Structures are given as C-alpha cells and as structure tokens.
Amino acid sequence: MVWGVNHSGLGWVAYDCCMDGCLFCGIVAGEIPAEVVHRTARTVAIRDINPQAKTHVLVLPVEHHEDALALAAAAPDVLAEVVAAGAAVAEAEGIAESGYRLVFNTGPDAGRTVFHAHLHVLGGEQLGYFGRL
C-alpha cells in the first residue's frame, strides 16, 4: 500500500498500485506532481503535459497494467471504468456534445511511450483523421 497526495486538493489517499520506475505509478502515488482533473477509486485522470489537442487528458487505472490488452485480460471491470471515466472527463471539460476521441496506444507502432495502460481523451477542436504520418 502506498500513500499519496491527491493533487486536486482532496487530501491523502491510499493506493495499492505501484511498479518501481513507472512514471504513471509515481503520479498515482502522489510522488510525481500532475494536474488531476478527475478521480474515482480505481482511476486518475490528468492533463497531458504534451497536448495533441486543445483538450488532452489521460485516464490512468490506479493498478499497474502494461497496456490496454493486459488491463482487459486482468481486470475488464477496471477497463470499463477507465472508459467511463473518459466519458466523465469529456462531459466535465465541455467537449461531450461537440465530440471527442478516446484512444489507447498499444504496441510499438502506436507510439506508446509510457508502459502503464492509459486512455487519451482528445477534443475541444476539430481533430484530424487517423492514419499514417
């Protein structure tokens, strides 16, 4: 069990999550500061430090799972909660009605840079099409 500060000002909370050296585990544990915009018992949503859209929020499961595939296999209920948290973030950020994108990057060709499952919530502007660079 790790105790960490909730950076949204809601006090200290306990997390049973962490993997040494994982950036997102450090954020969940309160060891690394981040702008928390939404929280549930099993998810933490933070602003992306390198936004790719006007609104770019990452929804992290509190538990460490390497990617969406591992999360789905080990804890499908948590995966569902991550997606629900993404929808709640879109609503809170005012982008639910205009539209938003939910994205998991899995595997080397997807450009994943942090090996802790996370959902990108992107919106607030017209987004480009998927495809090649």
**Mean per-residue pLDDT, 7-16:** 43
DSSP secondary structure, the chain, as one string: -EEEEETTTTEEEEE----TT-HHHHHHTTSS---EEEE-SSEEEEE-SS-SSSEEEEEEESS--SSHHHHHHH-HHHHHHHHHHHHHHHHHTT-TTT-EEEE---SGGGT--SSS--EEEEESSPPPPSS--
Q: So which residues are the catalytic ones? A: 118
CATH class given for the domain over 35-123: alpha beta
Per-residue pLDDT tens for 42-95?
999 999 999 999 999 999 999 999 999 999 999 999 999 999 999 999 999 999
pLDDT at 132 over 70: no
Quick one: pLDDT at residue 24?
Answer: 95
CB atoms within 10 A of CB 131: 5
